[in-house]
Amino acid sequence: MSELNPFKIAQAQFDEAAEILGLDPAMREILRWPRREYKFTIPVKMDDGSTKVFHGYRVQYNDARGPTKGGLRWHPAETIDTVRALAAWMTWKTSVVDIPLGGGKGGVTCNPKEMSEAEKQRLARGWMRVIAKELGGDRDCPAPDVYTTPQIMAWMMDEYETIIGKNHPAVITGKPIPIGGSQGRGDATARGGIYTVREACKKLSVDPNGTYAIQGFGNAGQFAALLHKEVLGGGKLVAVSDSRGGIYVEDGMDPEAIVKYKLETGKVADFPGSKPISNEELLELDVNVLYPAALENVITKENAPNIKAKISCELANGPTTPEADVILHEKGVHVIPDFLANAGGVTVSYFEQVQGMYNYYWPLEDVRKQLDAKMTKAYHSVYDMHSEKKVHMRLAAYLVAVNRVAEVVKLRGWV
């Protein structure tokens, strides 16, 4: 069904912003579609001696504002339409944080859980051999995403450099630090989100030392637990949940203790001194800040009327449905939308690309200072648009991002 097609959804979101901005038909058409897309086959010799043919993709959605940037997913359900949608969203994400890049995305239809390390390396190098001539730090720069790792990025960079015959670490980001990765990349997604929460607390006069809850306790959720206190100077973590259940501690829990417990046991359930709570109950807690950091579509038109958080910072991708956005806006819940809230990751990836281009690597404090500046400015740009146009924050973020890309497309004379 077309309404479940992720690229149709991405186009519909763009269309709403384009209508409000009054973009002319030619501008709408050029921004509704990828500038370039590549679909190809990758033959890989498997460990048992057989050859398996994988389907690979790279979509360069729009490069008006700079080289395209975006991750590589290795997933059994990968399709050209998921890659197109993700490339479109990357275009708006790089624009909303105002870094001089466009949006791209890539992938391979495969199940890496069923592959050996040697097979993964051959697949990584095979993907790069097909597409290398279309990549580069000044052209298109991939990064890790679902089921791809810093090690896979290192193999891809090595293959690229073998093909072109010279060092070019900026072709790939998300690399291990010894081979040109950036300091500060590990917690960048959560840290960037918490910088925006800090600014929202100032705008809305919300106490940053109040209560907060985290739905989803993977990488982003764990860093959010730790960094909320570090960045905001306090706060009381009352609830966290993961796929195996949730916990509630009315008087607050020690973020370091619950992260340690999760890493040791693989779950948050049964944390000493806690009461069990469902994911659904956690979302409806009366807290100052809610961090949806797990799956898409967890806040819907059914439960949105019951959301009591003052601020919802979307570290996950797509946790709120379009119908729920409208309800939350009318209720006065301040949503920091995903492609603003979790843009810290691509921002530090951009910093890695810059460092690779001029072969000088920044200390951690410089990375964090620059990330803070970018996220703070981006939040205020979106907040100002939200106030001016009287629209919810997600639509405001689209208006900011699409307007910036359209301006450069026009300056270039493409339309």
In our burial notation (b when 16+ CB lie closer than 10 A, e otherwise), range 123-151 reads bbbbbbeebbeebbbeebbbbbbebbebb
User: Residue 4: its pLDDT value, please?
Assistant: 63
Nearest-angstrom CA–CA distance, 353 and 357: 6
Q: What are phi and psi of 374, to 5 degrees?
A: -65, -50
Report the topology of domain 188-341: Rossmann fold (3.40.50)
CB 65 within 8 A of CB 404: yes
**Sign, Cα dihedral of 178, 180, 183, 187:** negative
381 labeled part of a ligand binding site: no
β-pairing, 289-292 vs 275-277, is: unpaired
Examine domains 2-6+36-170 and 188-341 and report if their fold is the same.
Answer: yes
Report the topology of domain 2-6+36-170: Rossmann fold (3.40.50)
308 labeled part of a ligand binding site: no
CB 320 within 8 A of CB 335: yes
The crossing angle, in degrees rounded to 10, of helices 393-412 and 25-32 is: 110
93 labeled part of a ligand binding site: yes
CB 344 within 8 A of CB 321: no
Nearest-angstrom CA–CA distance, 388 and 383: 9
Nearest-angstrom CA–CA distance, 405 and 32: 12
Q: How many CB atoms lie within 10 A of CB 29?
A: 12
219 labeled part of a ligand binding site: yes
- What would the pLDDT profile of 328-340 be if each residue is shown by its tens digit? 999 999 999 999 9
Beta partners for residue 143, in sequence order: 71
Point out the residues that are catalytic: 105
Nearest to 181 by CA among 348, 370, 358, 344: 348
Nearest-angstrom CA–CA distance, 34 and 59: 7
Three-state secondary-structure class, residue 224? helix
β-pairing, 51-62 vs 102-109, is: antiparallel
Q: What are phi and psi of 229, to 5 degrees?
A: -70, -40
Ranges of H-type helices in 272-320: 279-283
Beta partners for residue 45, in sequence order: 51
For the chain, give every domain's residue range. 2-6+36-170, 188-341
41 labeled part of a ligand binding site: no
Question: Mind listing the pLDDT tens digit of every residue in the chain (415 residues)?
Answer: 345 688 988 898 899 999 999 999 999 999 999 999 999 999 999 999 999 999 999 999 999 999 999 999 999 988 999 899 999 999 999 999 999 999 999 999 999 999 999 999 999 999 999 999 999 999 999 999 889 999 999 999 999 999 999 999 999 999 999 999 999 999 999 999 999 999 999 999 999 899 999 999 988 999 999 999 999 988 999 999 998 999 999 999 999 999 999 999 999 999 999 999 999 999 999 999 999 998 888 999 999 999 999 999 999 988 998 889 999 999 999 999 999 999 999 999 999 999 999 999 999 999 999 999 999 999 999 999 999 999 999 999 999 999 999 999 999 999 9
